[in-house]
Structure 1
Amino acid sequence: MQITTNKIDSANAKINAAITRNTIDANIEKIANQLSKEAKIAGFRKGKVPVSAVKKQYGDRLVQDAEAQALRDLLDEGLKAMEIAASALIGEPQITKFDKNDNGIDVEVTLAIRPAIELGDYAAMVPEVAKPAISDEAVMQRIEELAGAQAPFVDVEEDRALISGDAAVIDFEGFVDGEAFEGGKAEGFSLRLGSGQFIPGFEDQVIGMKKGEEKTIDVTFPENYGGSKLAGKPAQFKVKVNAIQAKEAVSIDDELAKKMLPGFEDANLEMLKEKVKEQLESEEMSKIYNDELKPKLMETFVNAFTIDLPEFIVEQEMDMALNKKAREMAEAELEELRNDAEKVKALRETFRDDACRAVKATFIVDALARAENVAVSEQELMQTIYFEAMQMGQDPSAIYKHYQESGYLPAIQMAMIEDRVLSKLLNDKIKEA
């Protein structure tokens, strides 16, 4: 077997070989001899099967196995010649040529290799992060909101009009074209004003009404309203206010702190303020990280490092982008592309720059994660997918299976690693406000 190798750059290599007929025949003999000791063929005792019977029984399969062994051998020999570790390969080697002839097989194997990245002093590229200053007013406002959310509604005895945030206990009946419609009537219904629970415009017209007051409210059902008979239709609701309820006033004190911090025996208002301040800082930092710092830092790294990219991975990224674009196109546009291969080629090429940047970013994140000892296990990946699925009210196992079968898991895992490693780098540069 004659082998030539070509290490194009740190991320791409090719192995060309002429697998001779003698190599294939020798492999067939070797495999057939091994099978003769293990195979069960009618009329022969196990271990006593003649090689000729094995060849007759397994003819085509022997040839395929012999060719596969030759490919494995040439790959091992090629990697050794180029001093490339098998662990450095990305994905499966691509057989880009496999031409059989009378003398044997002409083969070309294309390899993608994890590119070498000299990170240097990457930490110096990470900007200092100013911890957000949270005011005492913001802390108290959040505590009041939390206290208000837990406070019960109580009847308002004073003679006043309904305001946003109140609960109006109402009777109502709806009419379309003068006719009452099914599901449009209720008595003693508690409506939180400002909640957006009812048809747009309904709650706004209840605001300002007083206890005992009756009123006809004019609204229009949204065009996308669930009941097709009512969608887009103007309607009138006869409404009567039976009672006005408001949130009971809650004292902001140590007792409230004890209720809101049940895990702390010595909870007091000062501790509650500290915990709420930490929560507000975390929320603010999360927003700054996700909206601003992480995208900018990733852009800095992509622009700073020059690396070789595995060609076939870039090509795969371009194919995915093209398929995504096709799913968004109108049928007429798709038909035009189907009839013009050059247009398809030109459209696909428009995704090359973005594909290169995406692939480059992936390898940079991988290198940074290894440098920072950051990893996401399969267990963590599964837990994250399950948790998000449950939050959306979906079947976690079905969602995970869908991602698995669609090949999305590696991308999700890499996104989690990117988020984690960038957070770690930024956290190391936090300075107090």
Structure 2
Amino acid sequence: MQVTETLNEGLKRSYTITITADELDAKVNEKLTEAQPEIEMKGFRKGKVPMALLKKQFGTRLLGEAMQEAVDGAMSEHLEASGDRPAMQPEVKMEGENWKEGDDVVVAMSYEALPEIAQPELKDLSLDKMVVSADDEAVEEALSGLADQAKSFADRDEGAAAENGDQVTMDFVGKVDGEAFEGGSAEDFPLELGSGQFIPGFEEQLVGVKVGEEKVVNVKFPDEYGAENLAGKDAEFTCTIKAVKAPAAAELNDELAKQFGSESLDALKEQIKERLEAEYAGAARAVMKRALLDKLDEVVSFELPPSLVEAEAGQIAHQLWHEENPEVEGHDHEKVEPTEEHTKLAQRRVKLGLLLAEMGQKNEIQVSDAEMTQAIMNQARQYPGKEREFFEFVQQNQQVQQQIRAPLFEDKVVDYIFELANVNEVAADKDALKDAVEKLDEE
């Protein structure tokens, strides 16, 4: 077996692998010798079938297996000897259109090697970490939100008109083109006016109704409405008002706290403060992570595999196209060509992805089985009643596992860098943190 280099330019590599006919024949004989003791054939005892007959019977089939194993073995030996790590699966093509049994096998192999990546001096990286405390105003605001969730409704005085924020209990029948439609009717339905629970324009027309009144509401279903038979259609709802109730916010006391699992109002406030500060810390980490990635992008430079950049740019262009065309669900549309902006973003992502992967590998950072299990369970909760099915689906799908593992690995590498970098804590308020987070979305 011979491997001859035909191209070594930048990260591009090409080789010719030659496997002689004798080598293939030896591999076929080796396979037959290994299998011979278990082979039975009419006229012969088990394990006593002559080699020549076995070769005539099974040789052609085993030749293909031997050829594939020889090529795979040659590739593995070459990569181990050279130290190359292909950026993507190597392209392998058999040369010669008229190959026949007894000829040498010549295969062309090409790939792009991953570049050598030098780890930056992490202690020289300076990062600011925003530290935000939950003040009394923020705690009280969150507490008011909880009280609003626990609010009750009480009947208004007889003859009182419904106001925005009131709860109206009603029977209604919806019609399109004069015909009632499925799901368009209900009895004793409680609707909080201004909640946005119904389609636009519906709730506003119920402001001012009174108990016993029959109100006809005319609306138009949105063009992108989920039910195609209703999308963009004019509809008429006949509503019979049975009750009008005004909201009453829950009192801020120990009883309210117990509804949310706390022993007292003071304990609930402390829980709210801890939750808010955990949210602030998570947001501050996201801001610091972006700053870190920006710095790494500036200080680290190495040649990027063109195939990875091209693939990433194509994926970015495709994803953004679907965001701009949400009505197109399938992927059978014309190819979306990446722009210069897409390619620039792809270069950044590929560079940082390769850098973090290299740093994680060199520093033996791994995602544990327990961390993976916890992440899968967290995602499974998004499918109530089908958690087990989701868990089993992930267990059987390597690609989905990688999609879950990748962000976990990246965050562990980022945390490793944070530990070694020069991190300066900067006191800030929630408004400054909010502005910093909003800037992340703009970039």
TM-score (norm: length of structure 1): 0.73
Distance in 2, Cα, partners of 1:230 & 1:105? 62
2:171–2:187 contact (8 Å) kept in structure 1: yes
Deviates more, 1:40-49 or 1:232-241: 232-241
CA 1:272–1:247 in structure 2 vs 1: closer, same or farther (change >3 Å)?
same
Cross-structure match for 1:32:
32
Specify every segment of 5 or more residues in structure 2 that has no aligned partner in the other structure, as ranges. Answer: 428-443
> Which residue of the partner structure matches residue 358 of structure 2?
367
The structural deviation recorded for 1:364 is 1.9
Deviation at 1:56, TM superposition (A): 0.7
Q: How many residues align?
A: 413
> Counterparts of 2:53 and 2:159 in 1: how far apart (Å)?
104
1:385-404 to structure 2, matched below 5 A, reads 385=376, 387-388=378-379, 390-391=381-382, 397=389, 401=393
Structure 2 CA distance for partners of 1:297 and 1:208, relative to 1, 3 Å: farther
Provide the C-alpha distance between the structure 2 equivalents of 1:62 and 1:180, rounded to a whole number of angstroms: 70
1:55 is aligned with what amino acid? K
Asked if 2 retains the 8 angstrom alpha-carbon contact of 1:15 and 1:75, the reply is no
Distance of 1:92 and 1:227 partners within structure 2: 44
Cα deviation, 1:275-314, whole Å, max 9, x if unaligned, reads: 2122223334444555x54444334323432234445545
Could you tell me which residue of structure 1 aligns to residue 440 of structure 2? none
- 2:439 aligned residue: none
Aligned match of 1:59:
59
Q: Distance in 1 between matches of 2:297 and 2:392?
A: 31
SS of alignment partner, residue 128 of structure 1: strand
Q: 1:283 aligns with which of 279, 283, 305?
A: 279
Matched, 1:413 2:405: yes
**Superposed displacement of residue 369, structure 1:** 3.4
2:218 equivalent in structure 1: 219
1:340 is aligned to none
Contact 1:173/1:239, CA 8 A, preserved across alignment: no
Equivalent position amino acid for 1:388 in 2? Q
Aligned residue for 2:293? 298
Is the contact made by 2:168 and 2:242 (CA closer than 8 Å) also made in structure 1? yes
Assess, with a 3 A threshold, how the Cα gap between structure 1 residues 310 and 50 changes in structure 2: closer, same or farther: farther
Is 1:147 matched up with 2:131? no
Can you give the 5+ residue segments of structure 1 that lack an aligned partner in the other structure?
Answer: 338-343
**Secondary structure, aligned partner of 1:57:** helix
- Aligned partner of 1:431 among 410, 421, 425: 425
Q: Percent same amino acid among aligned pairs?
A: 27
SS in 2 for 1:168: strand
- Structure 2: how far apart are the matches of 1:347 and 1:229? 35
Aligned to 2:118, the other structure's residue is in SS state coil
Q: Is the Cα–Cα contact under 8 Å of residues 19 and 105 in structure 1 kept in the other structure?
A: yes
Contact 1:139 1:273 in 2 (8 A): yes
Alpha-carbon spacing, 1:173–1:72, altered in 2? closer, same or farther (3 Å): closer
Distance verdict in 2 for CA 1:54–1:416, change over 3 Å:
same
Structure-2 change in CA distance of 1:400 and 1:247 (3 Å): farther
Amino acid corresponding to residue 214 of structure 1 in structure 2: E
Aligned twin of 2:269:
273
The one-letter code matched in structure 2 to 1:129 is K
Secondary structure (helix, strand or coil) at the match of 1:391 reads coil
Deviation of the 1:381 alpha carbon:
4.6
Is the 2:166–2:192 contact (alpha carbons within 8 Å) kept by the matching residues of 1? yes
Cα offsets for 1:2-52 (capped at 9, x unmatched): 333589489664443332333333333333333334433333333333221
The alpha-carbon distance between structure 1 residues 403 and 364, as it changes in their structure 2 partners (threshold 3 A), is: farther
Q: Distance in 1 between matches of 2:310 and 2:363?
A: 29
Deviations 1:136-162 (A, max 9, x none): 112111112113313433345598654
Aligned position for 1:46: 46
Contact 1:202–1:217, Cα closer than 8 Å, also in 2: no
Match in the other structure for 1:246 = 247
Deviations 1:329-365 (A, max 9, x none): 999xx9998xxxxxx8x94796655544433332222
Q: Decide whether the 8 Å contact of 2:94 with 2:106 is kept in 1.
A: yes
Rounded Cα–Cα distance in structure 1 between residues aligned with 2:354 and 2:202: 54
How far the C-alpha of 1:376 sits from its partner, in A, is: 3.4
Structure 2 counterpart of 1:94: 91
- Kindly report which structure 2 residues correspond to 1:311-350, keeping only aligned pairs within 5 A, or say none: 312-314=307-309, 316-317=311-312, 347=337
Distance 1:138 1:335 in 2: 49
Partners of 1:155 and 1:246 within 8 A in 2: no
SS at match of 1:164: coil
Q: Shift of the alpha carbon at 1:240?
A: 3.6
Map 1:3-18 to 2 at 5 A: 3-5=3-5, 8=8, 13-18=13-18
Alpha carbons 2:153, 2:246 under 8 Å: kept: yes
Pair 1:19–1:316, CA change in 2 (3 A): farther
1:376 aligns with 2:367: yes
CA RMSD of aligned residues (A): 4.6
Paired residues of 1:169 and 1:190 also in contact (CA < 8 A)? yes
Deviation at 1:380, TM superposition (A): 4.8
Matched, 1:108 2:100: no
Q: Which amino acid aligns with 2:105?
A: I
- Displacement of 1:235: 3.1
